[in-house]
Amino acid sequence: LLEAGLREALTKPLLVEERESSSEENDRRIREFKSWAERGGAVLLGVMGGRNAEGGDFPGHQMDSVVAVGIPYAPPSGRLERTVEYWEAQFPGLGRRYGYYLPAHRRLAQAAGRAHRLLSDRAAIVFLDERVASPFVRKSLPGWMEERMERVEEGRIRERLEGFFGGREG
Q: What pLDDT digit, counting tens, does each position of 84-104 carry?
A: 999 999 999 999 999 999 999
Closest CA to 32 of 55, 12, 53: 12
Domain membership of residue 166 (yes or no) is: no
**Concatenated DSSP letters of 102-167:** HHHHHHHHHHHGGG--STT---EEEE--GGGGSHHHHTTS-HHHHHH-----TT-HHHHHHHHHTT
The number of domains in the chain is 2
Q: Residue 26: which domain range?
A: 1-45
Q: Are residues 75 and 24 in the same domain?
A: no
**pTM (2 d.p.):** 0.83
User: Distance of CA 100 to CAs 94, 118, 122, 139, 143, Å?
Assistant: 10, 30, 31, 15, 21
41, 51: one domain:
no
Does 12 map to a domain?
Answer: yes
Same domain assignment for residues 9 and 79: no
Instruction: Answer yes or no: is 13 within a domain.
Output: yes
Please check whether residues 86 and 119 belong to one and the same domain. yes
Per-residue pLDDT 10s for the chain (170 aa) are 777 788 888 889 999 988 888 889 999 999 999 999 889 899 999 888 788 887 777 878 889 889 999 999 999 999 999 999 999 999 999 999 999 999 999 999 998 888 887 778 888 999 999 999 999 999 999 999 999 999 999 889 989 999 998 855 54
* Residue 67, strand partner residues: 126
Residue 63 and residue 15 share a domain: no
Statement to judge: residues 37 and 54 lie in one domain: no
Domain with residue 120: its CATH number is 3.40.50.300
Please report whether residue 114 resides in a domain: yes
- Check residue 160 and give its pLDDT: 92
Residues 27 and 54 in one domain: no
Same domain, 116 and 62: yes
